[in-house]
Structures are given as structure tokens and as C-alpha cells.
Amino acid sequence: MALVEQVERVGKARWWLQAFLVMVYRQTIRFLRARSRMFNALVMPLVWFTFFGLGWSSTFDRLGPIAKTLFGGLNYLEYLAPGIVLMSAFVGGFASGLTLLFDREFGYLKELLVAPASRTATILGRMLGDSLAATLQAVIMLAVLAVAVGYTNPVALSIVVLLALVTAFMASAIGTTIALMMSSPEGFHGIVNLVIMPLIFLSGIFYPIKTLQQPLAILAVLDPLTHPVQLARWAMYNVVEEPVTLAITGTLAYTILFTTTAIAKYGRTYIA
Amino acid sequence: MVDVIVAENLVKRYGDFEAVKGVSFRVRRGEVYGFLGPNGAGKTTTLGMLTTVIKPTSGDALVAGYSVSREPWKVRERIGVVFQEPTVDRELTAMENLLVHGLIHGLSRRDVERRARELLEFVGLEKFARMQVKRFSGGMVRRLEIARALINVPEVLFLDEPTTGLDPQSRAKVWDVIRALKREGVTVFLTTHYMDEAEKLCDRIAIIDRGVIVAEGSPEELKKMVGSDLVYIEFEGDPARLTARLSEYGEARLLRNNTLVLKVRDAPSLLPELLKAVEGVGVRVKSVRYSRPSLDDVFLHLTGRSLRDVEADWREALRMRIRARMR
């Protein structure tokens, strides 16, 4: 065996791609080995759907047909379902920041930062890997909810899966950026409550945003989660509370914005 | 290019505190070069600057021919680093850790897989290739990290305190790995605060104290700086004549039990001559042994403090700090 030998490096483009893919691989297998993470990201949306959704659903049902006009002609569980799926993608994707903080805690981040690979490739790979994991959670959630509300259109369901992936990626970019600004994993849970909960409530998952008063109405439009939620409901039930073009633009613009922020922040991260 | 590392006047300042006060040295290809000094002497900071983890305040170093401050990416492609604290992925298996590292370092999949297998065998972990690293002992993790750092065929391997915190058996195994590296011609830069480690493993040692290199050389050369080896000659016969004869070679002193102690500069090379000289004085030599100064004596000689004492002081200071924080 020769420890000292001549070994060729692959070409620049190939190197970028393999650094990206190996991070996707690493993040997904880490997720699949940590069953508890899957459990965590499924529990919160499911609890909301069951204990909040079912509760209000029976209350609204007592109002009769008037209630349906509030929710664009849908019953409350139908109104809730698309948003809950994206909520699980959003919460799961946001946890990407937590994986970064734990990598720092256990020293592995140093190994990544001292590597000669493109940091853009490694952070994008990491975010995509975590997003795929979150999308898997969203798909499970979607399957459960589709059965619960009796929904079967496969095209619409596929669009929702795609939206879940985009939402998860956006959330992982937000989570990663926040994680890079923090020093310990402990503080991250506080951020979850401070940032994530308001974003979820204002996104129109639980109540219509078009009847909101100022300044909440403005905040709802500024909420990055609002737009994919509107799109998901539009895809499934043709119910949407803002122009579809705005929803598409908002979703893409926010995803690109947060992704660039995360890349820039990671590129400037000091090793020691 | 003979010198893999050329450090010139490296300085690192943190506010008012100067951790490294201008160190210069060269490491030749194929040698094991050690930074020996107490904790807080600036060893890890220097290693950090050489591995592009810490930006030098001033000065520069060429590692594998590239400047650590101007071309850190080129340097990173050509080095392997094992930090003091573990940086493994504990959820992945040993093999997966090596694969991820090799692919991120731009090797082809075929090369990575081949080298990963070879290196796991080299560090004696081939049976644990498929085990998750979280089940590894501290010594196994350290050996895995050495294997991982070697995947990309670095021109120099950096080891920061490679055996600190390991039990004696694991230490011995890590030492075996480092000796094997030396046989394979891998250039190694290591830091340590263990004198025995530096002495056993290093071709050349820089003794560092308070951010300054106070001496540099092979362990032998360093010990010669202290001046003297001690030769003990146990004999039967007339002590006076023997003392008179051997005083020509160095300061001789008679011990009670018919033993003479002679202070000489280099005992091993002088021994044959001494024995010949003794033949003429009519005494019978029963035994001869000599002792050499330890690196601790060297440190004492150079800094006026013993490495062991500095170590103890440092531990005490650390304990006080931890206690203060807990209150």
C-alpha cells in the first residue's frame, strides 16, 4: 500500500457537483437514522389539525352554510389541510438550522469549513438534503390529510408536494441563516417560538388573510409562508386570497432571497 | 522543494494578548516535526495559522508551497488536519466518514473507496468500517481522524495534541500509527505537551514557551544544550587513581558505593575511550551505565521553569477558572 501516491483531483464542475451531492446524501441519511426528528416534525402539525382543526370544524358546522362562505366555500378541515401540509414542510425545513448548530457543537462543522470544496456547494447540498427530509414528512402528512378530507386529485397532490419542497428549502435557508448568527443550540428553540409561530399564524393556514385588519394584513403579505400556502390551497380547491401571480412571485422571490443570504453568510463564516 | 512548511515571523494577537510572538521555522519533507510546550504556549494557535483556520496578525507561512494568508484554498487542498477536539460525524459509519471527506476534497469515487479501505486497515479499524462512530472509543476516533486526514494524500499531516485525553493503551496505538506514517514518508507536524511523546516520535522538536520558540533541534541536540550526560562507573580498586585519570574527560565525583560519576558532553560516543582509559589505572570495572538529560531538563535549562510545574500551574489555574464560573 502506498500512503504517499499521486492522486488526481476531479475537474472543477465535477468537484462542485460531488461536494453538493455528498452533502445531500449525508443530511438525508442522518435524518433517516434519527427517527425522533421525523416524529417531532409530524407531531406539531398533526396536533394542530386534530385538536385545533377538528374542534373549530364542529363549531363552524353549527353556523351552517354561512361558515363555508368564510372559507371560500370549503369546510374548515378542507381549508386547513393544504396549509398544514406546508406547515410540516416549513417546520421540518427550519430544523436544518438546528442540524448546523449541532454540527458546530460536535465539531463537524470545522471539518466542513476547512475543506477545500466550494462552500456554496456544501451549504446548498446541506439545505437540499434537509429539505428532502422535510418533504418526506410533508408527504406523509399529505397522505394522512388527503384521507381525512377525502381528497384524490393526483395532479393537485403532486403540485402540493412540489410546493412542500420549495417551502422546506426556503425554511431551511431561513433556519441556516439564523443558526449562523447564533452561538448555541439552546437559543434556537426560543427563535422557533419567536419567528416560526408568528410566520405560521399569519400565513393564512388557520384563518383567511383577506379579512385581516391593518397592519396584520400587510404583515401577512410580507410573511414568506403566506404565498406557498395560498398556492397549495389554490392547487387543491381553487381557493386563493391573493393574485396567483403574486403568490408565485412571492414564493420564488423569498426562496431566492433567503438562499442567497444563507450562502453569503456561510461563505463568510469563520472556522475557529 | 525540500521544505514543506516555511513559517516566517508568525504573530497572532488577540487584543492586548499576544498568543504567538513571531515564530519562524522550517519543516522538511518526510520528517516528523513537533511543537513541544506547556498548555497556553501558543502551539494550537500556530497550528491554526498553518492550517488556515486562524488568520495571522502578521507574518506568513508557506505550506506545501502556498501562502496561508493569501492562498488558503490551495493550502487546504494539500494538507490533512486532526484537530484537538474530535470533528467526526458521529451518526455516520467510519467508512461513510471517509467517503464524505474524500468526495468533498475532490477525489474520484474510485480513488476515495480504494484509499478509504487501505487507510482503515492502516490504522487498524478495518473491522469497524460499518460501525457508527458514536460507538467508537476516544482512541478509535483519533485513529479514524488520522485515516480521514490522509484520504486526500496531504503533503503534510497536522496533528494537534494527538494523544491528549487518551488512555495509555490507546496512546500507544496512536504512537504506532504515527511511527508507521514516518516509515511511509508522510510529513507530520504535531503539537504536544508530553515530553515522552515528542522524544519518541519527533525527528526535530521546537520548544515553545509563551509564544516564542526557545530552542529547536533533534531530541539529541536539544539535550546536548543542557551540556552533560552522567556516566556511572562501578568499580573495585583504588578510587584516587581512577578519579585522577577520568577527570581529564569531565567533572568526576565519587559516590559512596564505589561508584564514580562523570559529567561528560556526549556519553555514548565517549564511552569506548573512557573504558580504554580505565584499563591503565589498575581497577576492575564492574558495571557502567549512563543517563541523559530529559527534555524536561532542557525546558528547565531554557526557561528556568520545569515543564511539569508549568503544567501543574496551568491545571490549577484552569480549575480555579472553572470553579469561579460555576459559582
pLDDT (tens digit per residue) in B29-60: 999 999 998 888 899 999 999 999 899 999 99
| Residues of chain A with C-beta less than 8 angstroms from the C-beta of B119 | 3
Q: Which of B46, B47, B76, B100 to mutate to test the interface with A (most CBs of A within 10 A)?
A: B100
Sheet arrangement for strand B32-36: B79-82, B156-160, B188-192, B32-36, B204-209, B212-217
Q: Are A28 and B102 in contact (CB under 8 A)?
A: no
Q: Which of B103, B133, B178 to mutate to test the interface with A (most CBs of A within 10 A)?
A: B103
C-alpha cell of residue B14: 488577540
User: pLDDT tens, position by position, for chain B (327 residues)?
Assistant: 679 999 999 999 998 889 999 999 999 999 999 999 888 889 999 999 999 989 999 999 999 999 999 999 999 999 999 999 999 999 999 999 999 999 999 999 999 999 999 999 999 999 999 999 999 999 999 999 999 999 999 999 999 999 998 999 999 999 999 999 999 889 999 999 988 899 999 999 999 999 999 999 999 888 877 767 888 888 888 888 888 888 888 888 787 778 888 888 888 888 888 888 888 788 888 888 888 777 877 777 777 666 766 766 666 666 666 666 554
Residue of A nearest to B30 (CA): A4
Q: For residue B172, what is the enclosing H or E element?
A: helix B168-183
- State ipTM: 0.88
Q: Are B119 and B147 in contact (CB under 8 A)?
A: yes
- How far does A210 lie from chain B, in Å, by closest CA? 46
- How far does A16 lie from chain B, in Å, by closest CA? 8
User: Beta-carbon neighbour count of residue A127 at 10 Å?
Assistant: 30
Pick from B85, B104, B184: CB nearest A115: B104
Q: What is the value of pTM for the model shown? A: 0.84
Q: For residue B62, what is the enclosing H or E element?
A: strand B58-63
Q: Which of A27, A105, A114, A123 to mutate to test the interface with B (most CBs of B within 10 A)?
A: A114
In the DSSP assignment, the letter for residue B93 is B
Q: Locate cell 567533572: which residue? A: B251
Residue boundaries of the structural domains of chain A: 2-267
pLDDT (tens digit per residue) in A24-73: 999 999 998 887 777 777 888 888 888 999 888 888 888 878 888 888 88
Cα angle: B4, vertex B8, B11; to 5 degrees = 125
The mean pLDDT value for A169-192 works out to: 89
Helix (H, G, I), strand (E, B) or coil at B24: strand
Per DSSP, what are the bridge partners of residue B263? B230, B251
Helix (H, G, I), strand (E, B) or coil at B68: coil
Cα angle: A144, vertex A145, A151; to 5 degrees = 115
User: Which amino acid is located at A176 in the chain?
Assistant: T
